[in-house]
Amino acid sequence: MFSKGVKPMCRSLRKIAVCFLSETNVASRRLSLSSVFKSTYSSTTSHIHRLNAKSQSTASQNHILNGTSRADVKFLQSSESCRRFLDRYDNFLFDCDGVLWENDHVTHIPGISEAIHLLQDLNKRLIYVTNNSTKSRLDLQNKFNEHGFHSPLENVFTNSYACALYLKEFLGVKDSVYLISGEGTKWELDQLGIGHFGSGADLCQPSSHVSTLLKHKFNDEVTSVLVGFDEHFSYNKIFKAASYLMDPNCHFVATNIVEKSAIIGREGRKMKMPLTGVMVNAIAEAAGRQPVIVGKPFNTMFDCVRKQLPDLDLSRTVFIGDSLKADMGFAKSVGIDSALVLTGVNTSSDISQFPDLCPEFVLRSLADIVH
């Protein structure tokens, strides 16, 4: 089904290497993917400021929400409004980071386990949909247990798992995936029996010299390049991925692109951590190709959810997340309602800046559904 057209590419590898290193040729193929979305990650060290914003008065909250282009955005704060919210939906889809715990991946958000247990007691279907490609579904299931609640594995969707599903179920890929991602993605490919190579540190000698690059090892049978968050990301991996992608029959798939960086550290010692979007863009610009983005806000992620859970009634489904661009954008793209929680990326004051991404509901925290 898939072309083995990288053989001619490897036979003329000198031409590829020279093309890859040429500033003129690379510049002519540059993409503007970075303009598609602005980074939505806010500083984890600004949490105190976000909490101050979340604790403003009810009148101030309503003033902000009424100033948006969506007059029907509802701020859920009373027991009656929360009861109506819960009665309205049968299926609750959740982002994880910034919703179930803080965006540092460690800090508990008070009352979350009680909220999850309430929904479970009400026989709601709970589905977890995250753009974090560093974790496998099993990793998340174990983390749920640590935070005091449980979920069956079939209700957990990481973008790594969705990528594996997309490759196998939608593209028919079974083998020879060049993987630029971490252990979470590797585990998901293994679970679906998809052969892959390239994870971990690249062992070839890094160099800007064509003679050295020509000695790099290539896989003649490659079918796809899959990119997620990779702590071993390197020049060698960009070179190899871009070279493989010169074959138009080689699939180019990425876990996500919205998250490009995060500010980490403490006051006085802040640092910038590059995230998946930076890695995807580097390869896309070198290759001159645009990837299929599986993660939120693109609806490919939801296609994978529906593939596994075909009986979802969209009219009775709501997505709960902390990011206007990734989560509310995802809900809009697939045609379901959304609720923004203020425990993560965005605050209520951000809503007026993104009128096309207004949620139907706003909660200070998911824990607020418990009264």
Active-site residue numbers?
Answer: 95, 97
How many CB atoms lie under 10 A from the CB of residue 264?
Answer: 15
**Residue closest to 283 by CA, chosen among 160, 174, 136, 180:** 180
Say whether 279 sits in a helix, a strand or coil.
helix
3-state secondary structure 60-120: HHHHHHHCCCCCCCEECCCHHHHHHHHHHCCEEEECCECCCECCCCCCECCCHHHHHHHHH
| C-alpha to C-alpha distance for 34 and 43, rounded to whole angstroms | 20
| C-alpha to C-alpha distance for 252 and 280, rounded to whole angstroms | 10
DSSP string over 206-271? P-S-HHHHTTS---TT--EEEE---TT--HHHHHHHHHHTTSTTSEEEES-SS--EEEEEETTEEE
Q: Which residue type sits at 278?
A: V
Residues 6+ apart with CB under 8 A from 292: 166, 251, 252, 253, 254, 300
Contact 366, 345 (CB under 8 A): no
Cis geometry, peptide bond prior to residue 110 (ω within 30 degrees of 0): no
